[in-house]
Structures are given as structure tokens and as C-alpha cells.
Amino acid sequence: VGKTSLVTRYVHHTFSDRTPSTIGASFITAKIDVDGWECRLQLWDSAGQERFRSMTQMYYRGANAVVLVYDITNEDSFKDIDAWVQELKQNIDMESTVLLLVGNKLDLAPGRRQVEYSRARDYIKAITGDETAILEVSCRDDDGVADVFYNLANRLARRQQEQGGGEHDEHGRLLGDGRPRERQDQSGCPIRLTGSSSWTVSGSGCCW
């Protein structure tokens, strides 16, 4: 479905039609600016094949966020999302976890789309109550890729602000100095990615 291509396009600014299937897990670090603050995202990209399924469960623990990825030209990849959601519910606290749905291969949509945007939007809204937690991208054309990571980092930052307490303005920012509160863990925002159609974004905390 292109989860590895999504990370590679964002971090290394490259794309290949011959990206091999992930075996085991790979680790990549990305940096992104959110309102003037640098957030370091630690990305764990793990295998999604069924034979690796038991291994991927270890990456769910302590999740900060989850990105579910499907191919908009492949109906089966979208149907697989539900199985990943059910597995995630058994391994993480969905109420405290940021969740995004990403449809890849937007460049092929005009003639080959099998999953309508409205359908995916309604699906993620039913789970999260948020119809904006969905993006469509093209890793090939680098269309919308950066938006995924900015959206993710911004949601993580806002979640951290909410957990830190205090009053917020209409944009969800803390009143006062306007900065997210710092935490003792300054190592970054650990993000673990797993599944052929899902990324588990997890870790012990953010660098706010």
C-alpha cells in the first residue's frame, strides 16, 4: 500500500517503484516544526505480512498515535483496515491515541479509484468522531506527504497540551506563553510503524 514509500518520500525525498516488502522492522528519525518547536519523530516501520503479525504487536505498546494506510485503488487494502483496528483495540488505549487514516496512490485515482474519499472519511469518523482525521496522498508525486507528518505532529502536540492541563485558546494552544509544556523526556517523539496497511506510532512521550 506504500507505507514505506511514505516515510522514504518524506524523510529522504526519494521514491522508487520497486520498494521491497519490509522484513522485520526498520527505524528512521524525522524532524518537523510545529509552531516554531522542533519535534523529532522516531519511526518504526515494521513488516505487515501475516507471518510477521505476532512480531508487530510488540510495537503497539505505549502508542502515541496510529496511522492506518490503504491503497485507494485497492478495495481489499481498505477492507483490511478494519482487521488492523480490531487488533489495535486489543493492544493500545484507543481513547488516548492519535489516529490518522491515509489513502495512498492519489496519482492513480482518476481512472482506478476503488475507495471513495467520502467512504473513508465516514469510516474514520465512526471510530474517532473526527472526520478530518483522513488524508489522501501520492508518494510518487510527493502530493500531501508532508501534510501527513505535520498533521500527526500537530495532533500529538495538541494532545500533549491537553494532558498538561491549563486553559487553551480557540486553536487548542495553551494560554500564557503559548508554548507546549516541556517534559523530562527530551529524546523526541518515538513513533513505531507497523502493518502492511497500518502504522503504529508509539513511544513514551514527546519532546515538548
CATH number, domain with residue 135: 3.40.50.300
Evaluate whether residue 83 is within a structural domain.
yes
Cα(206)–Cα(188) distance, integer angstroms:
5
What Rg value do the Cα atoms of the chain yield, rounded?
Answer: 16
Number of domains in the chain: 1
Evaluate whether residue 159 is within a structural domain.
yes
SS3 label, residue 34: strand
- Give the pTM: 0.74
Evaluate whether residue 34 is within a structural domain.
yes
Residue 66 CB partners (closer than 8 Å, separation 6+): 88, 92, 97, 98, 99, 100, 198, 199, 200, 201
State the residue range of the domain holding 153: 3-202
Cα(191)–Cα(4) distance, integer angstroms:
14
Q: Phi and psi at residue 124, in whole multiples of 5°? A: -70, -30
Tell me which H or E stretch contains 29. strand 25-34
How confident is the prediction along the chain (208 residues), in pLDDT tens digits per residue?
777 888 888 887 877 676 555 444 566 777 787 777 777 777 776 655 554 455 556 666 666 888 888 999 999 999 988 988 888 888 888 888 888 999 999 999 889 999 999 999 999 999 999 999 999 999 999 999 999 989 988 888 787 777 664 444 444 443 333 333 333 333 444 444 433 333 334 432 222 2
